[in-house]
Chains A and B, each alone.
Chain A
């Protein structure tokens, strides 16, 4: 009973850390986290789906490389609050607005990393594959892409982590996931809510980064074998 009272008084006292808050509002926190995750995942996946053909186009037709890189870099310069506001007349107050903004930002990192990864594929590897009779499609899928994967995955990690941080700004239109809780918390000076949502947001970024790192290790087993031999 006394612990119950102590716990309740932490809400009344507006403490930064409050177990009672986490217990009574766990549903709210879960919902916000789920929204945060799906907005991030959808944005990064669409970003990849758009960035990949753009990078291939820029590589195949060098005259497109300048404009593609220039345009995506230009988009990156636009402040997120301004980006979401400029998309407002097109999408209204919707999750599509936030996702579109995040996709546009992710393009800069993804296009550059995909291009850098493909550029770094050794010419000998390409020649060898061509000599073995690989067509350009098979060359891309079976030789170039696997070799470009470490750079590509590095870009994917950067894009994902910064998208998770940027999603909070979506609170402007009420689709910010954990950002919504932060926004509410500031308006009502609710310390426990702001701290909990902020910490969850950073944790989410750390977990996503680790998961992608794990995926990269699973997808590129040969890089580990080579380093193991090299050191041993």
Chain B
């Protein structure tokens, strides 16, 4: 296909990678914005979800937030932000939008993960005299790990994907290469930008799958459990 060859030519041309609108700068923006948003989302969602899960309260809230999250178009939210004073606040509109879209999968998966811990195991741990804190750290958190990581993966991929939409309202990131190509009728550049964005999303997914395997506290025995978790992940959904 000619277009792919042209896109490759675009990608292998050094001048397309340098400068303010070059691929390196856009990649840097993309990673920076996604990273900050993901950290903020974790800092907001995980303490709340783990605490509520530990107490066993607020289940309806956790599920409903996730349901509402998928109905809201990212593009519309970003567009609304760009018509407020936020537009002159640098990357802030994108970061806020990304946090909004990363919180639901993190919250829901962490909460459900905590609640799905076998009650008999929790009771046994209590019977052994574990305090609430010990129970949380030594029993509930390790057992909730597979779903927690599923939520983190969903959120991270969603954030990287959403960050491309930011370009449609003039914010930075890899999507800018695509929209700039559209504005100049430069199809090879559009395809090259799309390849870069897709590759980054796949890399993030791959890296997190690898991290998941390495970090799993019960990695020898937990395969069957995490395959059950991956079927559960159908409740976590793309909204980008």
Q: Is chain B a partner of chain A in the same complex?
A: yes
B187 touches A89 (CB 8 A): yes
A186 touches B234 (CB 8 A): no
Residues from chain A with a CB closer than 8 A to the CB of B1 are 89
Select which of B71, B194, B238 is within 8 A of A81 by beta carbon. B194
Residue among A155, A194, A206 with max Cβ neighbours from chain B (10 Å): A194
Residues from chain B with a CB closer than 8 A to the CB of A205 are 71
Residues from chain B with a CB closer than 8 A to the CB of A158 are 70, 234-235, 237
Residues from chain A with a CB closer than 8 A to the CB of B132 are none
Flag whether A201 is at the interface (Cβ < 8 A): yes
B83 touches A169 (CB 8 A): no
Flag whether A74 is at the interface (Cβ < 8 A): yes
Flag whether B239 is at the interface (Cβ < 8 A): yes
A71-105 vs B, Cβ < 8 Å mask (1 yes, 0 no): 00010111111110110110000000000000001
A112 touches B239 (CB 8 A): no
B234 touches A113 (CB 8 A): yes
Flag whether B73 is at the interface (Cβ < 8 A): yes
Residues from chain A with a CB closer than 8 A to the CB of B79 are 182-183, 185-186, 194, 198
Give CA–CA (A161, B77) in the complex, Å: 16
Size category of the A interface is: 35 or more
B70 touches A81 (CB 8 A): no
A116 touches B165 (CB 8 A): no
A172 touches B239 (CB 8 A): no
Flag whether B117 is at the interface (Cβ < 8 A): no
B159-188 at interface with A (beta carbon < 8 Å): 160-165, 167-170, 175, 178-179, 181-182, 187
Give CA–CA (A206, B80) in the complex, Å: 20
Q: Which of B39-47, B195-203, B217-225 contacts A (4 or more CB under 8 A)?
A: B195-203
A interface with B by C-beta (< 8 Å): 74, 76-83, 85-86, 88-89, 105, 108-109, 112-113, 116, 155, 158, 161-162, 164-166, 168-169, 171-172, 179, 182-183, 185-186, 189, 191, 194-195, 197-198, 201-202, 205-206, 209
Given A78-B161, A81-B178, 10 new contacts (CB under 8 A): A78-B202, A79-B160, A79-B162, A79-B165, A116-B231, A171-B168, A179-B73, A186-B169, A194-B76, A206-B71
